[in-house]
Amino acid sequence: MGTGVPVRTRQGVNHPHSRLRAGDPEAFRDLFRDHSFLVYRHAVRVTGNWALAEDVVSLAFLEAWRLRGKLRDEGDSPRPWLMGIAVNVLRNTTRAACRHSAAMSRLPAADAVPDFADELVGRMADSEELAAARKALARLRRPEREVFALCVWSGLGCAEAAATLGVPVGTVRSRLCRARNRLRRLADEELRAAKKNTEPHPPPGQTQGSRDTAARPYKETHR
């Protein structure tokens, strides 16, 4: 016997996400306005490439539109769902970059993100630190790398990162702990290597004398 009460679906029509699922253009404009910079900043930090980061943003929101029907009602913010899409786009972008590595190796190496990009990447100390951090991050296992980038660089909480990656919160916490411990050591190694490679060497045949001694404070100040 019916109760007269309408049956609600698992994804309720009154939930804030329902407008996104329905393809409401205004809802997607709000989604882009509120979260596009988060996706862009995350992509810049992971790839170190502004142009590629812009492509990631475009692809992530195109995928969000295509997959809008899969957005569930868990939580009031679509941020974990959107960042999960962005992480997958970045994975695919990385695979494509690997497939084209032979061709890209013939081109000049891309410059490190310059100092004036600090506003976009959360005021990292300088471009050398960003480059060293990216190189160190690349040496981590992918699960640790993704958790670190989401939680530390993009500011997601452990619960949000867990929802983004589809893993338990405890897994996120353990991966983040391992990533932090390894990155401290690896980043220091990368910074030392970068400074060693850029430090000027005396011309052949020059002896260590008073001229070197006089120049030492200038070198130390400008390292």
Token duo for residue 5 = 């009460």
What are the phi and psi torsion angles at 202 (to 5°)?
A: -65, 150
SS3 206: coil
Closest CA to 43 of 80, 93, 81: 93
Task: Indicate the pTM of the whole model.
Answer: 0.60
Q: What is the pLDDT along the chain (223 residues), one digit of tens a residue?
A: 444 443 344 555 667 789 999 999 999 999 999 999 999 999 988 888 888 899 999 999 999 999 999 998 877 889 999 999 999 999 888 766 555 444 445 545 544 434 333 443 444 445 667 777 778 888 889 999 999 989 988 889 999 999 999 999 999 999 999 988 888 888 888 878 777 765 555 555 544 444 444 334 444 444 4
Cα–Cα distance measured from residue 130 to residue 147, given in angstroms and rounded to the nearest whole number: 17
DSSP label at 11?
Answer: S
Cα–Cα distance measured from residue 145 to residue 139, given in angstroms and rounded to the nearest whole number: 8
Compute CA distances 75 → 15, 17, 149, whole Å.
Answer: 10, 9, 22
Taking each helix axis as running N to C, give the angle between helix 127-138 and helix 25-47, from 0 to 180 degrees, rounded to the nearest 10.
Answer: 90
